[in-house]
Chains A and B, each alone.
Chain A
């Protein structure tokens, strides 16, 4: 597990969720709140191990629900399902171009609210939904795509900055040469 990277990612999650809650401009302009956790989870799932994905899903959902009327840990399952699915299929997903990162971020931003809403309705809660929710969902999809484009180089830079990188070697560094021993001893 990349401990420093995991800690840094949790800090990024904490700061971005706080900023999204305190920043009034998106609500005044778009009429919707921005959720940074789906694009962040997507970018993490493409780079980090399953331990980091799990910790982010748990910490992100639990801290975010303290700012909201949502039940505790509502987005835990949706975030983990997204992270797990992306992580398992990461070799098959194209994420080296801005367009594909935007598309993946948009899909993440579309799925998480739907799954969270389904969980809310399954637990007999009465969320505020109307026709305007469709606009909020669409604006959320676009903003999630944009945030994925921003988060990708940020996390890449953080990974390189906080974790010790292996030195580039033209040979296999894992092979150990044992001397003074006969081969068939």
Chain B
């Protein structure tokens, strides 16, 4: 069995060497270096969803990877290359601090905060000291006498408890470690026995070490003359609100030669307030924000090339001979309409024909036959679907008795004109096919139990909506299935089948839902809402008369939502279930609505489009049905879906309370997983 090139999908599972080996810069004019700008003094919040690659990017600019890169390029010493690059990256993950332990009923929040700040000051400073211990080991000539630097650092403390003054940075580092251990020990014992912390001297306050040590080091080391110390703090979401306030205060007070770049998930910023009178830090003036997901989404071509380069690196590192984007694309089977057409011709019964046969309220067989003769067109099922849509639309619009046979004759005429290229400007078939072609393809697939057409690397990239890990995840499962199906994935002579891609995508969608789960009861509400949105859009798209083409989005005036429902919508966006796309202006109502698209990896669950054209509106009543989470709303939503089903599907029953007759009372059977 071949090794799966996509087995590891998280940067955190990589070693530093692997992080370097798998590094791919963002193509185009502006790569990651320009985006992150590690030597810029301006603090930065790097915001990105789960799997956006924040950790990989932040770690790439950390000292550990700087050193690896500079050693590979051994024309100059590491220190010289740091000097040339102008920055030194000091990476830490907030999660590693276990910052949640600085809370409890034993002390006030203020007291815990003081302990946390002291702990953090010691913790972050250890990272700087370690870097210099390492550097001096590799280049002992950098600093001959370390005792004076130690003295200067010790002078930052309000009180120094040790009788023996450390003479080297390593000894100083060990003191810091021992101070920190003392805090950990006292905090842990206090929570174990339920007793207040006693005898803990806070030896330094106000982040003096975080801000002061770089200044001292800069004075002592010549190569640091033009170098900035860039703290790279990852997983900001792991800090509590008060702890974030402290970091925000640092952002406000930071000065050369120090800067901070913070990595956080979109929902990770709990506050922008500082301890400077509760004022907030100001975007643009005091910090920059880089929205990684947004950048990827706004540069689709660069993003697509970026992902293909990542995939290629992995595939070739695993020993496969695929070397170009083209070869990579070609290694996955892609959708071919001719194949679908041929497959449909082999079927005994075709879904939409059988459906109409059931629904036509005509008893005379001869008349039924004429109608089908007029509507059916074996040479091209897309044309035939256009005829059916025109037919259903007329049926829906009919105010009095609908003349089925007559309408079918008109449609047949329109089709013939279309085929022969006559009167194209007004031709209904032309207009409909221009808009609904891809909807018809998906409908034909679903109605006949064939998979919708989400296949191929380019589609997978679209489905990821700027989150690289999603593509890697789909490829991982797809590769596993291809291996299982003995398809020899990435061998030059074979392609990964649509079947393996379908299974892989199914598994990846399931993974996404589990992975994006929001903790707590609220997570259930959010999950329920996305399922309702999906179900609603699916009901529209797979109806006889879809109101719009390429449905996968909706628009909403957020101001109509209750605060709770606004929160749900916000979370759906922050956890990437929904992607906020361009705002649309409603000219008639003079208001700006926000438009949201279901992320592609989930769109596949409900068979929704990956494009965004038709955008139904969610009015206040519908929004409540979707976002409210009480049991009654759940029942009402089911009734609503039945009403929508009746409204858009023949025989187009209009009265709400009247029980529907026949087969159209049920929601379409394809409302669960379509793949």
Whether chains A and B associate is: no
Which A positions have Cβ atoms within 8 angstroms of B?
none
Which B positions have Cβ atoms within 8 angstroms of A?
none
